[in-house]
């Protein structure tokens, strides 16, 4: 759970430069239907799951709507965040899934912004990408099993929308 919270915070911070509410970018925040944005995020998640092609179990909380950071307190600007993970799969298979992801993201209209180790002590492999239009961001991390807390091998994924104003 702490990994998911940390990861969500990281992707929010990573995308804040593109999606935050500010006087310069305010006009760039689109007016959209929240259900449509949520369906788009879930569609991107399904596509990522297909590319990863792992036989493990999938744990997901479902897509969640939250306010965008950096907006004036009365401003109603939101984003959709969909965290999920794959577990009970072989680490080597999840590694291969990340390699497939690296190759397929550019073919599927995604630009890889970061590909390397995350900032954790474990130095977990991480891929951060966004759609070419900036509508969606993606953060994928592969965690090796740890005796601390009996943490299993885990492939964590978060898909997040750009900020939007509801219709």
Residue (of 69, 88, 91) closest to 79 by Cα position:
69
pLDDT for the residue 28: 77
Give 161's contacts (C-beta < 8 A, 6+ positions apart). 37, 40, 41, 79, 80, 81, 135, 136, 137
- Looking at residues 113-126, what average pLDDT do you find? 93
Residue 18 predicted with pLDDT over 50: no
pLDDT-based confidence at 25, cuts 50/70/90? very low
- Looking at residues 50-57, what average pLDDT do you find? 93
**Total Cβ atoms within 10 A of residue 26:** 15
**pLDDT tens column, 86-115:** 999 999 999 999 999 999 999 988 999 999
Question: Number of helices (H) and strands (E), helices first, in the chain?
Answer: 3, 9
pLDDT for the residue 151: 86
- For residue 58, report the phi and psi dihedrals to the nearest 5 degrees: -110, 130
pLDDT for the residue 27: 52
Sign of the Cα pseudo-torsion (151, 121, 113, 136, in order): positive
Tell me the two tokens of residue 30.
């689109």
pTM: 0.81
Q: Is 32 or 1 the better-scoring residue by pLDDT?
A: 32
pLDDT for the residue 87: 95
């Amino acid at each position: 759970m702490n990994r998911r919270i940390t990861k969500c915070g990281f992707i929010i911070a990573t995308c804040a430069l593109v999606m935050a509410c500010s006087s310069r970018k305010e006009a760039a925040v689109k007016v959209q239907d929240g259900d449509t944005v949520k369906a788009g995020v879930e569609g991107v998640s399904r596509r990522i799951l297909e590319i990863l092609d792992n036989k493990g179990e999938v744990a997901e909380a479902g897509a969640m709507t939250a306010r965008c950071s950096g907006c004036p307190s009365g401003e109603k600007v939101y984003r959709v965040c969909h965290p999920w993970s794959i577990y009970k799969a072989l680490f080597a298979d999840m590694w291969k899934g990340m390699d497939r992801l690296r190759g397929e993201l550019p073919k599927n209209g995604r630009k890889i912004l970061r590909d390397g180790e995350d900032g954790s002590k474990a130095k977990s492999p991480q891929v951060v990408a966004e759609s070419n239009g900036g509508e969606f961001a993606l953060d994928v991390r592969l965690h090796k099993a740890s005796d601390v807390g009996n943490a299993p091998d885990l492939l964590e994924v978060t898909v997040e929308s750009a900020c939007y104003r509801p219709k």
